[in-house]
């Protein structure tokens, strides 16, 4: 009876909403204890704004309107999303998606925004950002396994794994963004990629009339490839929740100090090569030599010594086309690293896309090679 009385008290409570739109969501219990239910939208009235709390346990999910996406991008470029949500748990991710579907709007889910070019016109839908907290961003280390929420920054994972006595992620120091985004795009540097240490990936998947479920993929099932995975494929609506990594233990004598020294050297090297202006990292994938149809013809045009781990730098091709330093509006092909386009002030997505088009055209004309973007452009 005590629990019933508590619920009755909750039913009779009122909440005063803020001046901006705030949406209250009813949570319906399910077999696994967390699946979410219907959406209740509270609209301010002339008297100031009240709404009844539903009879089942409630959470508030703040949804912003007309939020500038450039504020959530390392490029500092992008128009406004009609609706914007920071989802801090799997429950909030589900409710944000349900909100989008309830309004018959498209949606996309993203992490740190460090590899995404948001278009100038923004997004007439719901942008859902994975927050760095508990069920969307925790970090737990047990034995040789490191379980990481999708919202954890890659830099945090590197630091905490080294502090816990593990090695294997030193190469990734300086790479921005979240672990979830890094896994989706199979980020990498210095001949390594994040997939090398992935044991499994847990995702949120909508299973039709059966509701929502959590699926776990093994490394092989993730279909990792150079700068890609099944999760980066157009049309894949699965949302990465958590990643399990397997890491090696550092040698007991001086292992941690060696890792920190390696990190220091990598950071110094990156500062010499990576531009300081806002960017979203490498625009194009490097050329995988083994996958070329015109391999022999291409090899005659390039210096062989620049081939590393079977790949040739796209930056060299762009530079050889005389494009280094070229700018359109506030966007520039970096004069420090030709595979970076930087925002030198008030850059627009249209400027960036035009530079990308020019790079692809000139490289095709000179080397008969089609450059492939590493970045993601949203909306697609």
* CB within 8 Å of 309: residues ≥ 6 apart: 191
Q: Do 197 and 111 fall into the same domain? A: no
Task: Measure the CA–CA gap between 214 and 140, rounded to whole angstroms.
Answer: 19
Question: Is residue 262 in some structural domain?
Answer: no
Instruction: Using DSSP, state whether 359 is helix, strand or coil.
Output: helix
Could you give phi then psi for residue 68, rounded to 5 degrees? -70, 125
Pick the last residue of a domain from 202, 226, 255.
Answer: 255
Structural domain total, the chain: 3
Q: pLDDT at residue 294 above 90?
A: yes
Q: Do 335 and 233 fall into the same domain? A: no
Structure confidence by residue, pLDDT tens digits, 173-202: 999 999 999 999 999 999 999 999 999 999
In degrees, rounded to 5, the angle at the alpha carbon of residue 233 between the alpha carbons of residues 192 and 357 is 85
CB 339 within 8 A of CB 282: yes
pLDDT, greater one: 124 or 256? 124
Provide the pLDDT for residue 48.
Answer: 31
Task: Measure the CA–CA gap between 227 and 187, rounded to whole angstroms.
Answer: 6
Which residues have a catalytic role annotated? 227, 282, 374
Q: What's the CATH code of the domain at 99?
A: 3.30.43.10
Q: What's the CATH code of the domain at 290?
A: 3.90.78.10
Single pTM value for the model = 0.82
**What residues make up the domain containing 27?**
2-130
Question: Is residue 268 in some structural domain?
Answer: no
pLDDT, greater one: 4 or 286? 286
Structure confidence by residue, pLDDT tens digits, 23-34: 444 433 332 322
Question: Is residue 266 in some structural domain?
Answer: no
Instruction: Using DSSP, state whether 190 is helix, strand or coil.
Output: coil
Provide the pLDDT for residue 209.
Answer: 67
Provide the pLDDT for residue 59.
Answer: 60
Provide the pLDDT for residue 117.
Answer: 98
Task: Report residue 75 CA to chain centroid gap.
Answer: 13
Provide the pLDDT for residue 254.
Answer: 84
């Amino acid at each position: 009876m005590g629990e019933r009385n508590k619920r009755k008290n909750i039913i009779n409570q009122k909440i005063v909403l803020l001046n901006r739109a705030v949406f209250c969501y009813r949570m319906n219990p399910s077999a696994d204890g967390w699946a979410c239910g219907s959406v209740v939208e509270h609209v301010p009235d002339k008297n100031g704004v009240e709404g009844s709390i539903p009879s089942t346990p409630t959470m508030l999910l703040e949804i912003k309107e007309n939020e500038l996406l450039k504020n959530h991008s390392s490029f500092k470029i992008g128009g406004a999303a009609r609706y914007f949500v920071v989802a801090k748990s799997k429950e909030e991710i589900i409710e944000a998606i349900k909100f989008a579907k309830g309004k018959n709007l498209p949606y996309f889910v993203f992490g740190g925004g460090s590899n995404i070019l948001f278009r100038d016109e923004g997004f007439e839908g719901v942008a859902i950002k994975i927050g760095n907290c508990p069920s969307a961003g925790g970090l737990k280390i047990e034995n040789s396994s490191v379980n990481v929420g999708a919202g954890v920054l890659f830099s945090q994972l590197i630091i905490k794994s080294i502090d816990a006595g593990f090695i294997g992620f030193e190469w990734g120091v300086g790479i921005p963004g979240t672990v979830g985004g890094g896994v989706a795009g199979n980020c990498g540097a210095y001949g390594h990629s994040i997939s090398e240490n992935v044991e499994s990936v847990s995702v949120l998947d909508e299973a039709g009339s059966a509701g929502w479920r959590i699926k776990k993929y093994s490394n092989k099932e993730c279909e990792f490839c150079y700068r890609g995975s099944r999760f980066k494929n157009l049309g894949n609506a699965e949302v990465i929740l958590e990643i399990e990594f397997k890491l090696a233990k550092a040698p007991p004598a001086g292992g941690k100090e060696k890792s920190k020294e390696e990190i220091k050297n990598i950071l110094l090297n990156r500062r010499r090569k990576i531009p300081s202006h806002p960017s979203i990292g490498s625009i194009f994938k490097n050329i995988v030599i083994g996958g070329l149809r015109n391999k022999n013809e291409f090899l005659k045009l390039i210096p062989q010594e620049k081939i590393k781990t079977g790949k040739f730098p796209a930056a060299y091709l762009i530079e050889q086309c005389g494009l280094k330093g070229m700018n359109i509006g506030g966007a520039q092909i970096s004069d420090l690293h030709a595979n970076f386009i930087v925002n030198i002030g008030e850059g627009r997505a249209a400027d960036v896309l035009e530079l990308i088009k020019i790079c692809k055209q000139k490289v095709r004309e000179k080397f008969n090679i089609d450059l492939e973007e590493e970045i993601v452009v949203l909306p697609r």
